[in-house]
Chains A and B, each alone.
Chain A
Amino acid sequence: MKYFGLIWSNTWRKKIRTSLTILSVAVAFLLFILLNAVGQAMTAGGAMTGAERLVVIDKITLINFLPISYQNRIAQIDGVDAVTVQSWFGAFYQDPKNQFPQFPVRPDEYFAVYPELVLPEERFEAWKRNRTGAIIGKNLADLFGIRVGDRIPLQSTIFPKKDGSRTWEFDIEGIFDTTDPKGATNFLLFQHDYFAEANQFGDGFAGWFTLKLAEGADPVQVANAIDLMFANSPNETETSTEAAFAASFAEQFGNIALIVTLILGAVFFTLLLVAGNTMSQSVRERISELAVLKTLGFKNGTVLGIVLSESVLIMAIGSLIGLGLGWLAVRGIDATLAAFLPSGVVVSSTALFLALVITVGAGVLAGIFPALKAMRLSIVDALARG
């Protein structure tokens, strides 16, 4: 710590150069935290539940609907405990940017498949009694300040009503939470019967079915049995775990993990060049000063440590700024991308730990060669050069 004043002063020797380097580091870490958070959110949506549930979709594409009659047939298969119908409603609240998931479901079926959801009994019954009733997740209610008793309009971009209107109004009958620490509560559920009766496309279809496996049931066997049942029908199915379902949903945007890795790789490689160049220039400019330090009795290792510390310090300042901005940005986009990323966009502790490792690693890599040069310089030669 006694060298910190010296390291700090040296770091700011050329204020503009150091500031620009720190800015580039900050941008790199801002990108890192943003892409990491979004990438994680895209995979976390499926990973949150594991293989306790299976999802049945159309074999060709998720966009195709399935006959709702499939529900009863699926429920008959051994190993299936409960089945719920679900569809992507695709509406926004007040403004197109306020998009979040909404699903028309049957209350009893849905809660049988998702027992981790928590809703007071009287609110659940009130929802069941009200055909235009809806329940909303706690995060979403907090985000928009929605309370029980509110009547909210949703503009559906997919399903017009029979009268041609795209405005669907719902009475908020309850606010649900979840006992799953990784579970999402940023979506809205309303009655499938109301949806089936009021939408212009009519009744008899569903977006997909989600089923809860019976205890001890083999997911692979159940999935095979379902897909075999509907083989050679007009609507063949593909049954997978929720994780695979979420992953295939995310794959609509491309291979997210690969894209994120490639972008971050390029960003940090460039960052190393920028920071390394800064440190090289910094050492080159003060060869005689470093020689003076050694003349005064600073050992080779101490000089090496001082230069390396300067490099890591620049990286750490930029990293802190970038992570701070990234955290703010992630909070900002969390609501915007809520419709596509049900688990929410958050800065994970893993990402922060990784950022710490990258900060120190990149700092050392950027500074190691200039630091070695500083360490090895001959006092006599350096002083003679002035």
Chain B
Amino acid sequence: MSDLLARLAGVTRTYVKGKERVEVLHELDLEIPAGDFIAIMGPSGSGKTTLLNLLGGLDRPTAGDVTVDGADLTSMSNSQLSDWRATHVGFVFQFYNLLPVLTAQKNVELPLLLTNFSGRERARRARVALDIVGLADRAKHYPSELSGGEEQRVAIARAIVSDPSLLLCDEPTGDLDREKADEILSLLQVLNADHGKTIVMVTHDPRAAGFAKRTLHVDKGKLESRAAA
């Protein structure tokens, strides 16, 4: 077994909606080894995205501990969490969430604005990331000039440009046709296998989950695991 990258211990997440308390995750335990590629499946509202948000330091558990790459996320301030996210984790969203006013190159450079790299170095690193996802020739294009698959590739380039150890993907192929979805999932496999990225992917699609090394099912705030087909 590889080294442990992330660990959730006894994590509970409860939301308050009006007078109602909704427990999305209940005393959940999860260990993610470095280099793993996990698909998380489950019905709507089962807590998949909440789990992803907790792993990415976007949300805090009501109870329990979240440790990623040796850092205890539950004890960090908001500012510390921002710094941590900038260097340790990359996010890929279903609807890409690129900034429409920036070119692909500039979108990929965004996370590097938080570093002390020079403009030239930021541009170089962004070109490398775009090259990895096969879009070096589309660097000067705006999101509106790209296909859905290309936009998602740019989003993946943005997620890996600061070389994070963990990639969190929320329905990354949910808005793509099968062909484009397969391209994106294959790319994630390459990033996992060749670049050593640990990937946690939320999906509704069993076919997409098939690209992962293992699949976890979330139901009623709890996890069950099974090997990938």
Check if A269 is an interface residue, CB within 8 A of chain B: no
**Of the residues B58, B87, B100, B114, contact of A298 by C-beta under 8 Å:** B114
The answer to whether A12 touches B113 (Cβ under 8 A) is: no
Determine the distance from Cα of A12 to Cα of B113 in the docked complex, in whole angstroms.
Answer: 20
Check if B93 is an interface residue, CB within 8 A of chain A: yes
Interface residues of A (CB under 8 A from B): 2-3, 5-6, 9-10, 12-13, 288-289, 292-300, 379-380, 383-384, 386
The answer to whether A292 touches B114 (Cβ under 8 A) is: no
**Of the residues A2, A13, A296, contact of B85 by C-beta under 8 Å:** A296
The answer to whether B82 touches A380 (Cβ under 8 A) is: no
Residues of B within 8 A of A379 (CB): 58-59
**Of the residues A2, A12, A380, contact of B59 by C-beta under 8 Å:** A380
Q: How far is the CB of A37 from chain B (nearest CB, A)?
A: 38
The closest CB in chain B to the CB of A11 belongs to B101
Count of B interface residues, CB-CB < 8 Å:
28
Interface residues of B (CB under 8 A from A): 49, 53, 56, 58-59, 78-79, 82-87, 91, 93, 95, 97, 99-102, 106, 110-111, 113-114, 119, 158
The closest CB in chain A to the CB of B87 belongs to A297
**Of the residues B95, B100, B114, contact of A296 by C-beta under 8 Å:** B114
**Of the residues A3, A6, A380, A386, contact of B58 by C-beta under 8 Å:** A380
The answer to whether A293 touches B53 (Cβ under 8 A) is: no
Determine the distance from Cα of A299 to Cα of B102 in the docked complex, in whole angstroms.
Answer: 20
The answer to whether B114 touches A297 (Cβ under 8 A) is: yes
Determine the distance from Cα of A307 to Cα of B99 in the docked complex, in whole angstroms.
Answer: 15
**Of the residues B79, B101, B110, contact of A293 by C-beta under 8 Å:** B110
**Of the residues A2, A12, A295, contact of B119 by C-beta under 8 Å:** A2
The answer to whether B97 touches A289 (Cβ under 8 A) is: yes
Determine the distance from Cα of A183 to Cα of B56 in the docked complex, in whole angstroms.
Answer: 70
Residues of A within 8 A of B119 (CB): 2
The answer to whether A5 touches B111 (Cβ under 8 A) is: no
Residues of B within 8 A of A288 (CB): 97
Residues of A within 8 A of B56 (CB): 295
The answer to whether B97 touches A298 (Cβ under 8 A) is: no
Determine the distance from Cα of A202 to Cα of B159 in the docked complex, in whole angstroms.
Answer: 93
- What are 26 A-B pairs with beta-carbon distances under 8 A? A2-B113, A2-B119, A5-B106, A6-B106, A6-B113, A9-B101, A9-B106, A10-B101, A12-B101, A13-B100, A289-B97, A289-B99, A292-B99, A294-B82, A295-B56, A296-B85, A297-B86, A297-B111, A297-B114, A298-B82, A299-B82, A299-B83, A300-B78, A300-B82, A379-B58, A383-B58
Determine the distance from Cα of A6 to Cα of B122 in the docked complex, in whole angstroms.
Answer: 14
Determine the distance from Cα of A3 to Cα of B84 in the docked complex, in whole angstroms.
Answer: 20
Given A295-B56, A379-B58, 12 more pairs with CB closer than 8 A: A5-B106, A6-B102, A6-B106, A6-B113, A9-B101, A9-B102, A12-B101, A294-B82, A297-B87, A299-B78, A300-B78, A300-B79
The answer to whether B110 touches A296 (Cβ under 8 A) is: yes
The answer to whether A295 touches B102 (Cβ under 8 A) is: no
Q: How far is the CB of B206 from chain A (nearest CB, A)?
A: 24
Residues of A within 8 A of B110 (CB): 6, 293, 296
Residues of B within 8 A of A293 (CB): 110
**Given contacts A5-B106, A380-B53, A386-B95, is CB(A296)–CB(B111) below 8 Å?**
yes
Residues of A within 8 A of B49 (CB): 384
Determine the distance from Cα of A229 to Cα of B112 in the docked complex, in whole angstroms.
Answer: 84
Determine the distance from Cα of A85 to Cα of B221 in the docked complex, in whole angstroms.
Answer: 99
